[in-house]
């Protein structure tokens, strides 16, 4: 079979697989599931899911804040609030709406039960009396009414785990009604909104990243090869590798989420690295007079093994993300590694096939495009020979300064850590923290002691102690619990007077409350705080988003208070909730990152050991790749950037890709040493020969990852900045520090 026939056959198979990839990629959808970011396998997660099954989800709600600027007690404003309330009550997927205009104070008398509204929107003459009653009711202030009496909020309970499409419909309907009513200053927060906004942002950013990457890669390819085919051929090969990767995701029904939205961009720039090394070597051989077939054979022989090893190290860098407990990060690592393998296959099947079928490049033009590089790289080598000690001392100084910076890094997360401070969602969350109770949920599981019930007075007195501590010391701004239910009924039985919003004073009063509770046992308000058997309860609250570090300190203090002041024979407790589960990711951040890096170091050590059979060379190869990681860690420390789950993946991604240049350098050096050259001359030839491809691929990687700084997600922005910086530091280390280390510390076997 001729080479031309083989090439056509290979391209036909690739075309069929590409058509299948297009089919499966077209099935991809965007998704943002809040629960996926909980640490899988953690024993507290199973407990939280069990708790949630009993009492419902703590984040299936929508908060609507409406600000009147001056006083909220204005008839036109309150009538609009009431209209919006009734509109939201009629929407699909809305379970209930707690609103200032519909909340009522129950009154229980000997002759019956009735409810008095706290607020009378249509009767302005009662506003003074209403405001007095409202601001004497602790449970209303900071929840439905702002403390400064300028704003109100609506609490909209949505269906459990509301999907994107019904969620989007609800958000659209709500915004439409708000606009129709002319409620100028409004603020919205909640999982449904965050889910909708995150997915829209992902769609926009995917298009921006890919467009910017393609334009930058075209620019660098033109600078490198100065021919149309030198730009188009690599571009087509890499675009197909991205398409195949998306096809694999579609095949396994993996949606695009906040992590995998980075995959096409990363695949694009990483896949280009393989292609550049092949193209660069091929053009060099053509420029030296080789035929197309000779040039390809030599290219595959000299670049093939190094490219296989670099693809392996890059894939391993991403596969180490499988050690994390967070599903989106694990899947991102897995599918990116699969994509890198596909990019390698295409680089060594499709690219040679196209080059064989394409017209042979002009040798004179190939030589001319290759001419300026040796001059530049000879200067680099001269600098290495003249300044070895300054290079070594500077490297040691950088390591020391970086370690000081790393010691300043804090591990801390907030609920919406991925969004920048100027994002509208963050501003709305900040509004609720300033004007109302906050947005961070607090959940405490209450379990009545042996032989006790949640509605026993002595058990409720323990809960009351807890609430006092949570309000005064812990920082909760709103609480609902079995005790708040009992207080509300006790007040209702005493004419609705605010002074009676207390627990019953004795067992006789408590028995009256218990009779009323038995009559209301099937009401949803009660089922949300006490189980049907009355043995378990829920204490839920809201607070400002203090961050995971501060929350952990507060939880430790709370446990100490419970141990010292509560009687376990009456009441047992356990802290749980979605906020706690997200905070638990902190426990895994550093350990997962170090575990992933150690695996990556081990794989690189094995590969370099396989090439050189030398422990000394293994150490030499790791040093220029560890220093850039220390540098970005130091920069993060000095800039005060917290180590979060999303930021921690930077290190394994950066190491897995940055080490590629080292392996290409060492692979070429091995080839030169086998030819019998002395070590200094082999290093010189390696810098001149491999240096061009190392610099070009590093520039493309830097440019590609820098497109991520256009993201409105903080984590994506930091991935773009710090991975790009790592490549810059790594290419400098590979061309300056690595040759010095090899010259001074490596002793090749004499032939």
Give the closest residue to 657 by CA, choosing from 685, 628, 631, 633: 628
**pLDDT tens digits, one per residue of 256-273:** 877 788 888 888 777 777
* Last residue in a domain, options 526, 554, 576: 576
- Position 642 scores a pLDDT of 82
Domain-located, residue 560: yes
**pLDDT tens digits, one per residue of 57-94:** 767 788 889 988 888 888 899 899 999 999 999 998 88
Q: Please list the residues that pair with 66 across neighbouring strands.
A: 152, 186
Give the closest residue to 313 by CA, choosing from 731, 669, 653: 653
> How far separated are the first and last CA of the chain, in Å rounded?
41
**Are both 262 and 353 inside the same structural domain?**
yes
Domain-located, residue 22: no
**Are both 564 and 596 inside the same structural domain?**
no
- Starting at the earlier edge strand, list the strands of the sheet with 94-98: 94-98, 151-158, 61-67, 185-190
Helix axes 714-732, 679-706, angle to 10 degrees: 160
**Are both 243 and 183 inside the same structural domain?**
no
Domain-located, residue 188: yes
**Are both 323 and 235 inside the same structural domain?**
yes
**Are both 172 and 235 inside the same structural domain?**
no
Write the CATH number for 611.
Answer: 1.20.1640.10
Give the closest residue to 667 by CA, choosing from 729, 615, 621: 621
What is the domain extent for residue 593?
373-407+585-750
- Position 404 scores a pLDDT of 94
- Contact in structure between 146 and 434 (CB atoms under 8 Å): no
Q: Which two tokens stand for residue 521?
A: 């046992």
**Are both 447 and 526 inside the same structural domain?**
yes
Domain count, the chain: 4
Domain-located, residue 472: yes
**Are both 181 and 257 inside the same structural domain?**
no
Q: Give me the residues of the chain with pLDDT under 50, please.
A: 751
CA distance to 151, 662, 673, per residue, from 678 (Å) = 80, 20, 7
Query: What DSSP line would sit under 105-128, residue for residue?
Result: EEEEETTEEEEEES--TT-GGGHH
Measured in residues, the chain has a length of 751
**Are both 258 and 129 inside the same structural domain?**
no
Domain-located, residue 18: no
**Are both 305 and 388 inside the same structural domain?**
no
- For 285-294, the CB contacts below 8 A with 24+ separation are 286/360, 286/361, 286/363, 286/366, 287/363, 287/366, 287/367, 287/369, 287/370, 288/363, 288/367, 289/363, 291/360, 292/355, 292/356, 292/360, 293/3, 293/356
Q: Which two tokens stand for residue 457?
A: 């007075």
Domain-located, residue 13: no
The β-bridge relationship of strands 112-117 and 104-109 is antiparallel
**Are both 696 and 742 inside the same structural domain?**
yes
- Position 111 scores a pLDDT of 59
Q: What is the pTM of this model?
A: 0.79
Tell me how far apart the alpha carbons of residues 552 and 619 are, in angstroms, rounded to a whole number. Answer: 39
* Last residue in a domain, options 347, 370, 393: 370
Longest pairwise C-alpha distance within the chain: 109
**Are both 179 and 138 inside the same structural domain?**
yes
**Are both 486 and 603 inside the same structural domain?**
no
* Last residue in a domain, options 171, 195, 219: 195
Domain-located, residue 168: yes
Domain-located, residue 3: no
Q: Which two tokens stand for residue 682?
A: 């082999």
- Position 285 scores a pLDDT of 78
- Position 113 scores a pLDDT of 66
């Amino acid at each position: 079979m001729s080479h031309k026939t083989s090439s056509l056959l290979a391209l036909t198979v690739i075309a069929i697989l590409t058509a299948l990839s297009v089919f499966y990629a077209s099935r991809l959808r965007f998704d943002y599931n809040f629960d996926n970011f909980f640490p899988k396998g953690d024993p507290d997660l199973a407990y939280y899911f069990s708790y949630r099954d009993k009492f419902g989800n703590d984040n299936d709600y929508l908060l609507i804040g409406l600000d009147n600027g001056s006083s909220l007690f204005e008839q036109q404003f309150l009538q609009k609030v009431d209209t919006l309330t009734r509109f939201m009550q009629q929407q699909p997927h809305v379970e209930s709406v707690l609103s200032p205009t519909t909340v009522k104070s129950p009154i229980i008398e000997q002759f019956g039960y009735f409810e008095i509204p706290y607020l009378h929107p249509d009767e302005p003459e009662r506003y003074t009396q209403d405001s007095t009653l409202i601001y004497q009711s602790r449970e209303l202030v900071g929840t439905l009414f702002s403390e400064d009496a300028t704003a109100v909020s609506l609490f909209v309970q949505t269906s459990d785990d509301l999907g994107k499409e019904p969620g989007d419909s609800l958000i659209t309907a709500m915004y439409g009604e708000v606009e129709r009513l002319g409620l100028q200053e409004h603020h919205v927060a909640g999982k449904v909104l965050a889910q909708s906004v995150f997915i829209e942002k992902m769609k926009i950013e995917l298009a921006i990243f890919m467009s910017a990457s393609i334009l930058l890669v075209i620019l660098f390819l033109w600078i490198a090869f100065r021919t149309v085919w030198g730009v188009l051929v690599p571009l087509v090969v890499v675009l197909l590798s991205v398409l195949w990767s998306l096809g694999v995701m579609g095949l396994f029904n993996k949606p695009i989420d906040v992590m995998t939205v980075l995959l096409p961009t990363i695949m694009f720039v990483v896949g280009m690295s393989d292609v550049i090394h092949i193209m660069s070597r091929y053009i060099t051989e053509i420029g030296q007079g080789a035929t197309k077939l000779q040039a390809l054979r030599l290219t595959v022989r000299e670049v093939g093994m190094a490219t296989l090893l670099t693809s392996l190290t890059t894939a391993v860098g991403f596969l180490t993300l499988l050690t994390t407990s967070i599903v989106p990060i694990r899947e991102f690592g897995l599918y990116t590694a699969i994509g890198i393998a596909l990019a390698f296959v295409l680089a060594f099947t499709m690219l040679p096939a196209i080059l064989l079928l394409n017209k042979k490049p002009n040798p004179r033009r190939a030589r001319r495009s290759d001419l300026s590089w040796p001059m530049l790289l000879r200067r680099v080598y001269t600098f290495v020979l003249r300044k070895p000690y300054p290079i070594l001392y500077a490297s040691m100084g950088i390591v020391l300064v970086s370690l000081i910076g790393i010691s300043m890094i804090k591990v801390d997360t907030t609920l919406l850590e991925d969004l920048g401070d100027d994002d509208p969602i963050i501003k709305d969350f900040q509004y609720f923290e300033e004007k109302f109770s906050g947005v961070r949920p607090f959940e405490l599981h209450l379990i009545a002691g042996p032989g006790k019930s949640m509605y026993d007075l002595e058990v409720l007195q323990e809960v009351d102690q807890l609430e006092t501590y949570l309000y005064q010391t812990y920082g909760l701004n709103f609480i609902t619990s079995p005790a708040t239910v009992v207080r509300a009924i006790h007040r209702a039985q005493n004419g609705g007077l605010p002074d009676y919003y207390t627990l019953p004073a004795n067992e006789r009063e408590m028995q009256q409350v218990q009779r009323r509770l038995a009559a209301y046992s099937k009401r949803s308000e009660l089922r949300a705080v006490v189980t049907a058997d009355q043995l378990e309860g829920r204490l839920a609250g809201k607070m400002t988003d203090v961050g995971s570090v501060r929350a952990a300190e507060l939880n430790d203090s709370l446990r100490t208070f419970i141990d010292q002041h509560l009687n376990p024979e009456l009441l047992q407790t356990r802290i749980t909730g979605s906020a706690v589960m997200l905070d638990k990711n902190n426990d895994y951040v550093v350990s997962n990152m170090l575990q992933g890096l150690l695996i990556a170091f081990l794989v690189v050590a094995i590969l370099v050991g396989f090439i050189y059979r030398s422990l000394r060379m293994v150490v030499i190869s790791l040093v220029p790749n560890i220093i850039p990681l220390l540098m970005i860690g130091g920069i993060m420390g000095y800039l005060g950037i917290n180590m979060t789950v999303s930021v921690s993946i930077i290190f394994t991604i950066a190491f897995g890709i940055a080490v590629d240049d080292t392996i290409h350098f060492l692979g070429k050096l091995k080839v030169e040493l086998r030819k019998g050259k002395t070590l200094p001359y082999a290093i010189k030839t390696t810098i001149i020969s491999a240096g061009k491809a190392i610099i070009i691929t590093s520039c493309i990687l830097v440019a590609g990852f820098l497109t991520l700084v256009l993201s409105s997600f903080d984590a994506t922005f930091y991935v773009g900045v710090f991975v790009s910086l790592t490549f810059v530091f790594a290419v400098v280390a590979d061309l300056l520090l690595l040759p010095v280390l090899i010259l001074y510390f490596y002793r090749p076997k004499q032939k």
